[in-house]
Chain A
Amino acid sequence: MSDQSAYKDLLHEVLAGRVSRRDMMKRAAALGLSASAVSTLSMAAVAVPGIGSVASAQEATPAPVAGGTLRMGMQADPSQFDPQSLSATAIWRSIENMYDTLTRIKPDLTIEPSLAESWDISEDGTVYTFHIRQGVTFHDGSPLTADDVAFTYTRLLDPATGSQSTATLISIKGAQALASAGAAGEGTPTPTDSQAAVDAAKAALGIKVVDPNTLEITLEAPDASFLTSISDGSAIIYSKAFVEANNNDVTQVVNGTGPFKLDEYIPNTSIKASRFDGYWEQGLPYFDGLEMTIAAEDTARTGLIIQGGADYIEYAPLRDVDTLKQNADLKLYGESNTNIRFLGFNLTREPFNKLEVRQAIAKVVDRTPMIESCVFGHGTAVATVFPPDFWAALDVQPEAPDIEGAKQLMATAGYADGFKTTMTSWSEYSFLSNAAIVLQEQLKQIGIEAEMVLLDAGTMIQTVYINNDFDMAVTGTSGYVDPHGVMIENFMTGSSGNFVGYSNSQVDDLINQGQVESDTEKRADIYRQIQQILLQDLPWVDFFVQNQFEALKKNIYGFEHIPTGSAIKLRRSYFAGE
C-alpha cells in the first residue's frame, strides 16, 4: 500500500468517525505524514463529532454571578410531573432540577452523593445503610426524613401506582413480590384478597427506617448497579405528607427538594419555575428561575435560540448542529450519549436462526451512509452495544463491508440466491427508519429483498416487542448508565426487552456475575466477555451511537453535558459577562 492511499484510508476513517484523535496522531506519525497532511487530518477530526470534544466548550470560566432567568427550549411536553406514574423522558427533563434523588449521575457516568450524604455497604454486599442528608427541606418547608425515602420507594413498587419503572428498585428484597402482588394469574383475586397480598408484600419489603436520618435497604442479592439505579428519575424523593395530602396524585403538583420550584405549567406550551431559597446546596442555584418553552419541532427549537427566544436548547437538532456551532453567539455542549441504534433479528424464524445468514448481513452493513442519512453525520459507528469511550466497552471497531465474504456465507447457509423478507422500523423516528432504508439497499447486494414495514409507536411496540411478529427490526435503546441494565433487559433469556428471542446460558450467567461483582475492573471484564459472545452469536448488528448536544448562549457558564441527556448541571450554571 502506498503512503498516498494509506493517508486517504486514514482520512476516510477519520471522516467516518472510526478513529480516535490519539490513534489518528499515532498512525499519522507512523506514516511519516507532512505537517500539512496532519493538519488536514486534524481539521477533519474536528469536523467529525466523536473525535475530540467541541472546541468552543472549553473556555476560561468567570466567577459565578447570581441572577437572571434561563429561557429553555425543550424537546417534548412532559404532559404531567410524576415519573412514578408515567415513564417519559420529557417528565424527567422538566423536573430534574425541582427534585433530587439519593444519588446522582456525574458527567463521567459515575455517581455522587445527593440526598444521601453517604452510605455503608455490608460485607456481603446486600445491606445498604444510607445516611440521609440533614437540613434538607422540601419546597413547602417540611424537612426531609428517612420516612419520605421509604415511602417513595414503596410507592414506586406498589401495584396501585401502576408504575412502568419498577425495574429501578427491583433488586430490593421482596420488590418483585410487591410489584407483582395482586396480579391476575393466581386465580381471580377479589379486591380484598389482592389488597391483603399487597399489604403483606409491603411489610416484607427490605426497606427499614432506622432513625429519621438513617435508612437501611436490604437487597435480594448483591447488585453492583444499585447505587446507579436509584439515581434514575423514577426514584426522585417525594414528601410523604404532601403525596398523602394530594390523595397520592402528584401529577400536576411539584414539591421536591431541588433548587427550583414549579410556578406554572401550560400543557404543550410552557413551564415556569423559580428559585427555591431553601435549597440544600449552599449558594445554589444561580438563576432566579427557569422558563421552559416546548418546541417539539426541530426547526422551531433551532429557531428559538437563533431568534433569541431561548438561552438554552436541549437536543440541539442534529441537522442544525453545524450551523449552531458556527453561530458566534452560541456554544455547544455534548456529543456523547448512551443510546444505541441497531438491527435485531428474529432468532426464532427462518432464515435468521442460521448464524451464517446473520453473519452475511453483518458483513454487508456499511455504517457511514447510515450515520449520514439518520443523524447528519453526528453519530459514532460501533461494533458493539457500548460506545468506544464507555468503561465497559469491548475495544473493537466495526469492519468495512465485505460483499464477497457475505455472498460466500449466504451460499453456505443455502441462500446463494438470497431471499425475500421484511424489515420493521419506527415510522416516527427518521433516525431509525432511515437506517432501515439504507440497509434495504445494502442488502440487495447479496440478494436479500427486504420489504419495509414502518409502524407508529403503539403498533411497533405491540408487534415487535410484545408479539415478536417480525423478521428484522431496526430499532434503538436509550439512556443506560450502568451496563447491567442494558444487558439484562436485552440479552437475558426471557427478559422483556429481549424481543429477538436470544438465549445463551453462558451470557445469562455472565450477566448475573456482572451484577454481583463489586470490583469495577472485573465487572468491565465480564461485560467485555458478553460483548465478545454477542459478536459471535449476532442477535443484533449494532450500527451507531447517536450524538446529542445542548446549545447555549455564550454568556452561560458552569454547564456540563451528561451523556444521559440530563441537564442537572443547570443548577450550577450562571450568566456572566456579556
Chain B
Amino acid sequence: MEHISYIREPLITGEGVTYSQITDEVLKPVEGPPTTKWLIGFAVSFAFFCIWCLAIGDTFWNGIGEWGLNKTVGWAWDITGFVWWVGIGHAGTLISAVLLLFRQNWRNSINRSAEAMTIFAVICAATYIFGHMGRPWLFYWIFPLPNTFGSLWVNFNSPLVWDAFAISTYFTVSLVFWYIGLIPDLASIRDRAKGISQKIYSIASFGWRGTAREWLRFEAVSLILAALATPLVLSVHSIVSSDFATSLIPGWHTTIFPPYFVAGAIFSGFGMVQTLLIIAREALNLKKYITIEHIETMNRILILTGSIVGVAYGTEFFIAWYSGSEYEQYHFFYTRAQGPYWWAWVMMISCNVITPQLLWIKKIRTSIMATWILSIFVNIGMWFERFVIIVLSLHRDFIPSSWAMFYPTMVDMGVFFGSIGLFMTMFLLFIKFAPSIAMAEVKLLLKNGSEQAKKLMHPEEGAHHGAKEGVIIAATTLGIKEKDHE
C-alpha cells in the first residue's frame, strides 16, 4: 500500500531528520536535567497548585459558604470551571480517536499532549464535582450502591447521575487510550535508561518488546479504543449540557444545548491545545514536529467550531423570540446584553464569535503569535460562555424578589486559578517524565510527505538537497516500520 503524493506537505520539517534523531530530540526533556524554563514554569504552576490546596482545603473545612454563592445563584464559578475543564478535555479525545479513525496522520505529532491534556482537564473538572458538594465525603452516593436499607436507589431522572456515568466513562477510556499509546514510547525510554528509572519505566511499559505481533495488537487496540472513544466525544458534553437543558430556568431550558455544547467543547479544547502546544513547541524545541501546518489545521477547526457556536448563540435568540415565553425573552433580550452582567456577555461574544473570524486570514492563521493570542481569547471566551449560561440565567430567573448578584470571593478565585496551577503542574510533570510527542507515531510521518512539496515550500532547501523535480518518494507505513527496525 503506497501513498504517492505530489502535493502533500511534509508533517515533519527540517533537514535530514532521522529516526534516532526523533528519539533523541523527543526524549531530551525526559532524559536530561530539567531546563530553567521548565523549572520556572513548574515553580509558578506549583505555587498556584498550593493556592488551590489552600482554597479547596478551606472550602472542605468550613463549607461551601466560603464561596460567593447565595440562595439564588447556587452554582457559579464552580460549575463554570467544571464545564470549562470538561470542554477543554474534548480536544484530546477528538484528536486521538476521531482523527485516528479518519486517518488524519497530522494528528500524530499532537495527540499525546492533547490526550494528556484531556486527562488532566478531566481531573480538574472532577475536583469541581467533589468540591462543589455540600458534603463531599458522601460523593459515592451518586452511584447506585448495594446497601442494607432496601432499595436506596439513585435518581436516574437526574442529569447529575448521567454526568457521573458520562464523566467517569470518559475519563476511564481516555486514560486507557492514552496509556496504551504511551507504552511503546515508555519502552524506548526504558531501553535507554539506567538504574532505578529503568526499573520504573520497565514496569510502566509492561515489558514491551516491539515485536510485530505486539505492534499488530497495539494497532488493533488503538482502533478499538478509538471507536469506543468517538461516541464519548459527543456524549460527554451532550450530557453535561443536560445539566442545564433539562431544567426549567430560562437560559438553561434549551434543546439546542447538546450540539452547541459539543461544538463549544471542541472549540475550547482546540483553543487550549493551541495555547499549550505553542508554548511546548517553543520551550521543548519541537518545531520540527509541531509545524505551522499543524497550527493552521487546528486554526481551521477553530473557525469551524467557533462559527457553529456563533450560530448556536443566534439560534437561542431566535427561539427566545419565537417561543413567546416572557421569561426567555427577558433573559435573552434583556438580562444578557443589558443586565448587570452585560460585560460577561460582551466578553463571550467577542472572544468566541468575533475574534476567531480573524483566522479566515491566512496570514493570521499561520502566525504563531497571532494564533497563540487568539487561542487565549478562545479560552477566556469559553469560560465566559459558561459563566453567562450559569450565572446570568440563575441570577434573574422567575420571581424578581429573589434576584441577586453573584460576587466571587478570594476562595472562588483561588479554586479556579489554583485549578489551572493543578493542571499545569500535572502537565509539566508529564512532559518531564513521559515523551510529550508520540515518538512511535511521529516516526510514521517522517517519510510521509512529498519531497516535491517540501521543495515547493522551501525552494532553497530543495536545491541544497539536490533533489530533482518529479522525484517521488513513496513511503508505506509498513515499509517505514521495517526500516525502523533495522
Q: Do A and B bind each other?
A: no
